[in-house]
Structures are given as structure tokens and as C-alpha cells.
Structure 1
Amino acid sequence: MIQAVFERAEDGELRSAEITGHAESGEYGFDVVCASVSTLAINFINSIEKFAGYEPILELNEEEGGFLRVEIPTDIPPHQREMTQLFFESFFLGMANLSEDSSEFVQTRVITEN
């Protein structure tokens, strides 16, 4: 199962997301749930890089897959922060919708930082 955990700060901003696990909803290369999660995550990162103009902090397992952590730097200017929040909320919405549609393969939750 894929677990997606989004961290939201007390001010309401999404600050990080961590995705772990494998959907195992189909054979390797034919797992549409896994492909959906990958597409949402890659589009999120690419959107930040192209439109907000910076690279987020990334950790991932490129060999085995099944792990991605994205974190937003705390020192980015306000215009980049606003744009990033729009992309982050869109990423969260996509993951939440996927979790509703494929709850046996994906779980999405939000934790609030203190």
C-alpha cells in the first residue's frame, strides 16, 4: 500500500510530503495506481522547478522506488511561497482523490506541525 503523509504548519501552509510503499494493484509496468501517484508527484516537483523557479528539497530511493520526500525550504521569497502552496494544494487534492477512489491501494493523511 502507498502511504502519503502531508505536513501542514500551524499557519496552514503545506511544508512537506512523504510517500512510501507500493500500490501492488497490478503487474510491474502495468500498475495504474502506482503510475498515478508517480505522475502526480513528478508533476508537482516539475511545476515548482519550472514555474516557481527553484528546486525543492528531495529525498528518494531511485533504485527500489517506494520512497519520496519533498520539503519546501523555509527561506524562499513570498511570491515563490504562494505559487508553491498552489502546487502543493493541487498535489494534495490529487492524492486525496486517488485515496478515495483506490482506498485499498493508497492512503493520504495530513499531520499538523506544532
Structure 2
Amino acid sequence: MIKINVVRDKNNNIQKFTVKGHADFSEPGSDIVCAAISTLAYTAVGAMKNMVRIDDYIEKDGYMECTVPQNISDEKRKVANIILETIVLGFKQIEFSYRKYVSVLDKEV
């Protein structure tokens, strides 16, 4: 199962998300659930890098973490929120259709 954790601050801004595990929906190379989650995660990282100039992520086999620094400008924070809220919506839509393979935990700390 792919487990996605979304961490928010007290203002409901996304501080980071982590994606870990494998869907095991199908064989590697043909797993559409894994491909969909991976596409969203890499899109988030690419958009953060290109649009907000934030390159703070970790990626290993079966794991990705993307963190938003706390000391960014309000303008960058707004753009980061749009990117990440869109990605989280995508994660949740996949979870809705494939609950056996994807779990999204969206929490405030």
C-alpha cells in the first residue's frame, strides 16, 4: 500500500508531504496506481522547483518527501499552496477509487 502523509501548519498551509510504499496493484512497470501517484508527486516537486524555486525534497526507492521552508515569502507561499493543494486533491481522488492500495492522511500539527 502507498501511504501518503500531508502535514499542515496551524494556518492550514501544507508544510510537507511524504509518499512511501508500493501500491502492489499490478506488476512493476504496469501498475497504474503507482504510476498515478508517482506522476503527481514528481509534478509537485517539479512545479515547486520551477515556479517557487524550492528544491527541498528527498527521493529514494518507494519514498518521496517534499518540504516547504517556513521562511518563504507570502507570494511564494501562495503559489506553493496552490500547487500542493492541487496535488493533494489528486492523491485523494486516487485514494477514493483505490482505497485498498492508497491511503492519504491529511493532518495539522
TM-score by length of 2: 0.96
1:1-114 equivalences under 5 Å are 1-55=1-55, 57-61=56-60, 65-113=61-109
SS at match of 1:76: coil
Tell me the CA shift for residue 78 of structure 1: 1.2
Could you list the per-position Cα deviations for residues 49-76 of structure 1 after superposition, in whole angstroms to 9, with x for gaps in the alignment? 1112232x21221xxx111111101111
**CA–CA distance in 2 between the matches of 1:39 and 1:92?**
12
- Same amino acid, percent of matched pairs: 22
**1:48 shift after superposition:** 1.1
Equivalent-residue separation in structure 2 for 1:31 and 1:75 (angstroms): 38
CA distance, structure 2, for counterparts of residue 3 and residue 96 of structure 1: 11
Structure 1 CA distance, aligned partners of 2:90 and 2:6? 12
Deviation at residue 99 of structure 1 after TM alignment: 0.2
Gaps of at least 5 residues in structure 2 are none
- Aligned residues between the structures: 109
> Where in structure 1 do 4 or more consecutive aligned residues deviate above 4 Å?
none
